[in-house]
Amino acid sequence: MSESSAAVAGSVAERFEQLYGFAPEGVWAAPGRVNLIGEHTDYNDGFVMPFALPHTAVAAVSRRDDGVLRLHSADVSAPVAELTVDALAPGADKRWTAYPAGVVWALREAGHTVTGADIHLASSVPAGAGLSSSAALEVVVALALNDLYGLGLRGWQLARLCQRAENVYVGAPVGIMDQTASACCESGHALFLDTRDLSQRQIPFDLAAEGMRLLVVDTRVKHSHSEGEYGRRREGCEKGAALLGVDALRDVPYDGLDAALARLGDEDEVRRLVRHVVTEDQRVERVVSLLEAGDTRAIGPLLVEGHTSLRDDFRVSCPELDLVVDTAVAAGALGARMTGGGFGGSAIVLAEETDVPAVTKAVEEAFTAAGHKSPRVFEAVPAAGARRLR
Ligand code: GAF
């Protein structure tokens, strides 16, 4: 454990003790993520390739045996919330507490014994930046309860339960990528994940060793209205699969894409969604092949292709995200794309180490010139997935 995670674990444990009057049984961390490629494919049973950020949600937790669930967050100005595990019900809670409470609900609904908990959370994952702050909260609570209650669940099983918490308890129709990334990523690697069966391969991703860097540019445009738009995209994809007679768009072969699109008749919107998903799955496979062949620089154009497809076909970009991509590429970046659900949030930029200052400056100046808020730019190095800190 690095000194800084030891220090974070210490201060989160200390705050727990101030709040509840005794020391926690343990402290856990779960990261946010960026997605290298494979966007809006996870609810189509397709491929994704996220990696974990060093930013984490940290939870200090103790068990209770009286059915009470107490929740507190350093990031929300609200007193300790006290709930009863027997009374947890989907859809009722519209506050931040729905995420951790939803995990308790999902574990119990799946038949696991969880008789209560005291939880204090603190997160360094930027909220609303498309970097999976919600999944990090869910996964850290799931992992803590898994350990404390001896449930014996694997990372991918925790991810499935966290997705269920978010889909049913919180009411957001998200896919499985973010929770799996937070639970299963490994330091120094990107996670090649098949979202149909959750089979996974850790792909070494050490850009510094090859003289490159990956920047995250948080546009600071919060993805408002994203849930409705996200749900509409998902419904459109499901309609496309139904019209094409397949279980999910993952089953439309890239080689058969033109024929499939022709069969969609005058369903223009569905046709665009299908084209994005099928070509995006193929881009993920191409990126994996290039990385495994050691041809990392060649992934740059595929990132840009993916962005164009998200902008024009899937229509989930926004002017700020497009500006990052266009400006970074014009300033010499190897590639760039929006990452995550879109409608705001963050973009990623792949650049030669020597070009980072010029690319960063160009993006910052372009934002100023366009009258946008200053973006937050930081370097992302693939970090560890969810783990116990103490
Ligand atoms: C959001 C969702 F939570 C993910 O499941 C995924 O669909 C992503 O948008 C788009 O790829 O992060």
Q: Which of 163, 166, 178 to mutate to test the pocket of ligand 1 (most atoms within 8 A of CB)?
A: 178
Residue 273 is predicted with a pLDDT of 98
Give tens-digit pLDDT for 56-84: 999 999 999 999 999 999 999 999 999 99
In a domain, 69, yes or no: yes
User: How many whole angstroms separate alpha carbon 178 and alpha carbon 183?
Assistant: 9
Return the residue matching tokens 């070494």: 204
In a domain, 222, yes or no: no
Q: Measured from the CA of 175, which atom of ligand 1 is nearest?
A: 5
Nearest CA to ligand 1 atom 8: 341
Give residue 43 CA to ligand 1 midpoint distance, Å: 8
In a domain, 50, yes or no: yes
Is pTM beyond 0.90? Reply is: yes
- Catalytic residue chosen out of the listed positions 45, 93, 118, 178: 178
Of 275, 356, 280, the closest CA to residue 36 belongs to 280
Give residue 80 CA to ligand 1 midpoint distance, Å: 30
Check which CATH number belongs to the domain holding 186 and give it: 3.30.230.10
- Domain count for the chain, please give it: 1
- Identify the domain containing residue 131 by its residue range: 3-204+383-388
User: How many whole angstroms separate alpha carbon 343 and alpha carbon 215?
Assistant: 19
189 vs 62, 219, 324, CA distance in Å?
32, 25, 25
In a domain, 77, yes or no: yes
In a domain, 47, yes or no: yes
Q: Where are the beta strands (DSSP E) in the chain?
A: 26-35, 47-48, 50-63, 68-73, 81-84, 117-123, 189-194, 200-204, 212-218, 335-339, 346-352, 376-379, 387-388
- In this prediction, residues 145-165 reach a mean pLDDT of 98
Q: Which of 131, 177, 179 to mutate to test the pocket of ligand 1 (most atoms within 8 A of CB)?
A: 177
DSSP letter assigned to residue 170: I
The DSSP bridge partners found for residue 200 are 193
The CB of 54 under 6 Å from ligand 1? The reply is no
The residue type found at 81 is A
The CB of 280 under 6 Å from ligand 1? The reply is no
Residue 1 is predicted with a pLDDT of 47
Residue 2 is predicted with a pLDDT of 55
Give tens-digit pLDDT for 299-351: 999 999 999 999 999 999 999 999 999 999 999 999 999 999 999 999 999 99
